[in-house]
Each structure stands twice: as C-alpha cells, then as structure tokens.
C-alpha cells in the first residue's frame, strides 16, 4: 500500500496538522505502508489560472514550471491519499485548495457517467490515481459543526473522482497543540493517532472503538475551559507585544534625547 500524506497547513512543521499527521504516518508505516509525506508550504505551487492549456495545447501538462509536476507524480502513483488541513474561514486552507485545483492535468477533457454513481457526470482520468481518501482536519473552535463544509467537500471529491472515502479524524480545539507546555499531556492523544494510522492500513478503516476514543480521550474536560485558556493565551500575547512596543518606543526616545 502506497500512501501520499499531505499537510495543507501554511504553518508547515509548526502546525497542529503536522503534529497530528506525524504519529498517524508512523502508525501507517509500522503497519507496512510505504508513505510519502509532504508539507505543501515547502513547495512552489502557483494557483491555477484557468487557462486550460493542460487540456488543450499540452495535454496533461501545466504551463507553470513549479513543483506541482513532482507532487502530481507522488499523487498518481499512490493507492491512498491522506489530506491534512486546518479549518480556515469554515473551509480547508487556501494552500490545500490551490494544490487540489492544480491537479487538473490528471483529468482528460472528456465527460462520462461516474463509475460508482451513474446519477452524476464525471471527468475521464488521464492517469492512474489513488483509490482511497482519508481526511485529517483540525479547527480552533471547540465544536464539531465547524468541520461540516470540509467533511462534505472531501466526501464529494472522493465521489467525483471515483475514490472510496475511508474515514476522517476531526479535531476541534486544535490550538491546544500549539503550546510547548501541553505536549506532555497530549502524549496519549499522539499515541492514539498512531493507532489510527495502524488501523487504517491493517483494516482499511478506523475501528468504532478508536473513533469513539478520538472524541472521549481528550485532554480538556469542557468547552468552557478551552475558551478560557485560549482567551487568556491571546490576552497574554497581546500584553507581551504591547510591553515590547512600549519598551522599544522608550529606548528610541532616550536615544533621541541623548544624541
């Protein structure tokens, strides 16, 4: 099983998405999968200009000479793709959407009835492609409702591309992962992510018990404690920045007065 795991967070290795993906990938590898894992932010990816050159003048090839050809190659040679994204303005990150749009050259300009859902029209594929899709998303708010657009989108994408949507891990309160002080308390959750990766490869999906644990084995007991923690965190950061600015301002004034 070849897996292509994609971190779509613009925060790259500092992101919650990366922190969730890393143990998940470890679990998949331990179960025997060959995994290619990328942080999209490390690659040059222009946004699609909608010129259709990849369907007309140079079929299968974009006019941009950036890193997409390499990434598309990793995608079309894998059996499963794992999309990782933060929720940005109630949707996936713009970076991940840019990547997905730029996979346009893998389609041929030929409409056909969808193999798995004859009620919808799809595009012909120019290449082989992964036949399974898994989603890992995290968001800042504490409720699951904020994942609805992202979850719906990736289910639809899988349907349209004749792939099987094999599951999702949705993690609200994702800001908890950002602080170094919470890393120890998060260790059991990272272990759980590893179990998820292992189960996905061995059984093709997460077990019901593990899906349940993803919701219940969480480090905070209530939404209110999260709201309080996040508000305090940002108040503290704003205070710190204000004090630094005041200090800088005072130093500049002293320098000006003494010169």
Residues that bind ligand FMN (CB under 6 A): 9, 11, 15-17, 86-90, 138-141, 146, 174-175
CB 168 to ligand FMN: min, Å? 15
Residue 46's φ and ψ, nearest 5 degrees, are -75, 155
CB 13 to ligand FMN: min, Å? 10
CB 156 to ligand FMN: min, Å? 19
Contact 103, 52 (CB under 8 A): no
**Closer to ligand FMN at the Cβ: 18 or 64?**
18
**Closer to ligand FMN at the Cβ: 39 or 122?**
39
Note the residue count of the chain: 259
**Closer to ligand FMN at the Cβ: 88 or 107?**
88
Please give the Cα distance from 165 to 133 (Å, whole number). Answer: 5
CB 218 to ligand FMN: min, Å? 14
Pairing type for strands 132-138 and 164-171 reads parallel
CB 20 to ligand FMN: min, Å? 8
**Closer to ligand FMN at the Cβ: 17 or 78?**
17
**Closer to ligand FMN at the Cβ: 62 or 173?**
173
**Closer to ligand FMN at the Cβ: 146 or 233?**
146
**Closer to ligand FMN at the Cβ: 9 or 103?**
9
Instruction: List, in order, residues 6 or more apart from 144 with CB less than 8 Å away.
Output: 170, 172
Contact 92, 85 (CB under 8 A): yes
- Beta partners for residue 37, in sequence order: 5
H or E element at residue 254: helix 223-258
Task: Work out the widest C-alpha separation in the chain, in whole angstroms.
Answer: 80
CB 85 to ligand FMN: min, Å? 7
Please give the Cα distance from 104 to 117 (Å, whole number). Answer: 21
- Cα distances (Å, whole numbers) of residue 178 to 18, 37, 127, 173, 245: 11, 21, 39, 10, 24
For residues 71-97, one letter each, b for 16 or more C-beta atoms within 10 angstroms of the residue's C-beta and e for the rest, the string is bbebbbebebbbbbbbbbeeebbebbb
Contact 83, 154 (CB under 8 A): yes
CB 11 to ligand FMN: min, Å? 4
Please give the Cα distance from 162 to 166 (Å, whole number). Answer: 12
């Amino acid at each position: 099983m070849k897996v292509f795991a994609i971190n779509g967070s613009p925060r790259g290795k500092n992101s919650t998405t990366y922190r969730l993906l890393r143990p998940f990938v470890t679990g998949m590898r331990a179960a025997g999968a060959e995994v290619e894992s990328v942080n999209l932010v490390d690659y040059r990816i222009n946004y699609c200009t909608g010129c259709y050159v990849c369907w007309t003048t140079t079929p299968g090839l974009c006019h941009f000479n950036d890193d997409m050809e390499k990434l598309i190659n990793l995608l079309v040679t894998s059996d499963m793709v794992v999309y990782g994204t933060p929720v940005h303005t109630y949707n996936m990150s713009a970076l991940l959407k840019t990547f997905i749009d730029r996979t346009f050259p893998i389609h041929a300009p030929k409409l056909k009835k969808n193999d798995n859902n004859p009620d919808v029209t799809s595009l012909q594929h120019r290449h082989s492609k992964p036949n399974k899709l898994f989603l890992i998303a995290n968001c800042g708010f504490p409720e699951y409702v904020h994942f609805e657009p992202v979850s719906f989108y990736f289910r639809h994408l899988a349907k349209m591309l004749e792939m099987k949507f094999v599951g999702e891990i949705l993690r609200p309160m994702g800001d908890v992962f950002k602080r170094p002080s919470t890393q120890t308390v998060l260790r059991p959750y990272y272990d759980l992510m590893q179990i998820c990766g292992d189960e996905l490869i061995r059984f093709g999906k997460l077990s019901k018990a593990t899906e349940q644990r993803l919701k219940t084995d969480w480090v905070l007991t209530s939404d209110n404690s999260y709201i309080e923690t996040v508000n305090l965190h940002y108040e503290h950061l704003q205070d710190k920045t204000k004090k630094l600015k005041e200090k800088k301002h005072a130093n500049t004034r002293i320098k000006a007065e003494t010169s």
